[in-house]
Amino acid sequence: MSPRAALLFLALATGSSAAICTADAFWKAPPKVFGSEVLDIHAEEVRGWNEYATASPTFPALPVEQKPIDFCNVTIFYTHPGLNDTIRVSIWLPLQEQEWNGRFLGQGGGGWAAGGHGALAAGVALGYAAADTDAGHTYFGDMADIGLTSRSWSLTSPGNVNLHALQNFAYRALDDMAWIAKHITKTYYSKDIAYSYWNGCSTGGRQGLTLAQRYHEQFQGIISAAPAANWVTFLVTEYYAHIKMRELNYYPPICELQAITKAAIKACDELDGVKDGVISAPRLCGFDAKSIVGQKYECKEGDTRQITKEAAEVANAVWTGPLKKDGTPIWHGLAHEAPLAGQANFQGLAKTKCDSQEKNCKSDPFVISADWIKQFLLKDPDYDLSNIDEELFHNLLRISRQEYHSIMDTSDPDLTPFKEAGGKLILWHGLGDELIFPNGSLNYYERVKEATTDVEDYFRYFEVPGVLHCFGGDGAFPLTALNSLVDWVEKGKAPDHLDGQTLPMFSSKPDAEPAYRPLCAYPKVAAYKGGDVNKAESFECADGFGKVAGKRDEL
């Protein structure tokens, strides 16, 4: 008899209820999900783990002291028989039963990665049993290979999309993960789970909405941050700035784009009555990049240039979003404070690639948008995207909607089943998001309001000025959103605001002290009352910003 089997036999023989972290213990009653088959189970005790994921999208909403943790690491490999797939579910369980808070936390991924290595640590540190899935393609390795491109799995051959793999990523693996991970959790502790929660941003936010729309009984509380919903539309429109560059035959250097963004923030910063480097009233910002054509800026010290009319047109196109020939919008644009060229962690939607002198620039589109167009719409990984003109762009948008809406879009506004199951949903979106259009989230919230009644009883939307995609930027971040969700689910305390605090290490002011501000439930905004602008009590949730109260134009 193996040592692990002997330990299991001894525990059963003596009637001990102590949790046993061995594969044999879980093979006694393996998880069963209709249409799937468990291939293998691994389990091992991990002590002193201190590798926390500190990058988006695994960081948001989990304030935790990053101390070493002990947990039972359970990995399940399973397949859908006949479909030639292998999917991994990772479950991290606080090692001792007394360290478990009785709750389960599903954690989302980012880009094409359905989960993320180290993403579960924060949940375990807070006492949750935490889990994620790789949806059938690994999240270990170089992010450029696993999170930003689907080349390894999206096509079975040129011209032929692996639709089953896409369905796993889109929704099916999420439901599988919930069933499997909950079963493992209950088996380990020999207790039922009191409450189940979901936390995710970007792809993780889309996954949260997917769960609310398709699998409404799996999670009592869901945080969906900057969700990659409206997938089939926004991923194509993310490419539009490069259509405009092609049309103008001008590819602005990053320093020129940065100068335009800086000018826009300067022009609209104080519309809310506070000068803080953040545009908190984006719907009041009517800044036109054409107004600064000819204005001087520096690329490098001594390298003075002037804003061109072509760069201004590119910037305006990003802010308005693509338009039809009659001038009506196809989709939303980004807010003026969103970095046109991106930030350290992400590309922007107008990013270019230049030589060492910031000259001879070329198009450098956001890699996931380019991947979606190549792999799933054109179905040709070697296609030269520089050939895409305005006509082909509109055709690709039609193809995207026609072929993938039912699989990927995650925009069904009828949340009645989720509401009736008692679920609670917090959706927040950074208004400085440089990749996913914040008004897409607002559009979804407004459509839910039209489709169901008493929306505020189960779904609240929060706009977060100054925060970029998932995190970063000079705005106040909703670090304790998960706490607010737990209070709503378990105590019936609906949040009229989220507590926001700036995260200097991810901002343009790394040496600053944190500032605090309420992040108000839409349509309220944080209006300045007076006092120290770095303190939350200097603001109140109101209908507008002082003299401009009540005016809410579109971004």
* 433 a catalytic residue: yes
Q: Which residue in 134, 276, 364, 433 is the catalytic one?
A: 433
Is omega for the bond preceding 94 within 30 degrees of 0, making it cis? no
Q: Phi and psi of 45, rounded to 5°?
A: -75, 135
Tokens of 36: 């799937």
Tokens of 41: 């189970």
* 202 a catalytic residue: yes
Q: Which residue in 36, 150, 196, 202 is the catalytic one?
A: 202
* 469 a catalytic residue: yes
- Residue 352's nearest CA partner among 369, 368, 344, 340 is 340
End-to-end, the C-alpha distance of the chain in Å comes to 68
Could you give the C-alpha distances from 492 to 113, 422, 433, in angstroms and in order?
A: 34, 11, 31
363: amino acid identity, one letter: S
Is omega for the bond preceding 523 within 30 degrees of 0, making it cis? yes
- Residue 241's nearest CA partner among 296, 321, 305 is 321
Kindly write down the DSSP assignment for every residue of 247-314, as one continuous string: HHT----HHHHHHHHHHHHHHHGGGGS--SS--S-GGG----GGGGTT-EEEEETTEEEE--HHHHHH
Q: Phi and psi of 484, rounded to 5°?
A: -65, -40
Task: Give CA angle at 520 (346, 540), nearest 5°.
Answer: 125
Q: Which residue in 469, 474, 499, 538 is the catalytic one?
A: 469
Would you tell me how many other CB atoms lie within 10 Å of the CB of residue 193? Answer: 17
| Cβ-proximal residues to 15 (8 Å cutoff; 6+ apart), any chain | none
Dist. CA 130–CA 94, nearest whole Å:
9
Kindly write down the DSSP assignment for every residue of 24-77, as one continuous string: HHHHTS----TT-EEEEEEEEEEEEE-----STTSSTT-------EEEEEEEEE
Task: Give CA angle at 131 (127, 137), nearest 5°.
Answer: 155
> Would you name the residues annotated as active-site residues?
202, 433, 469
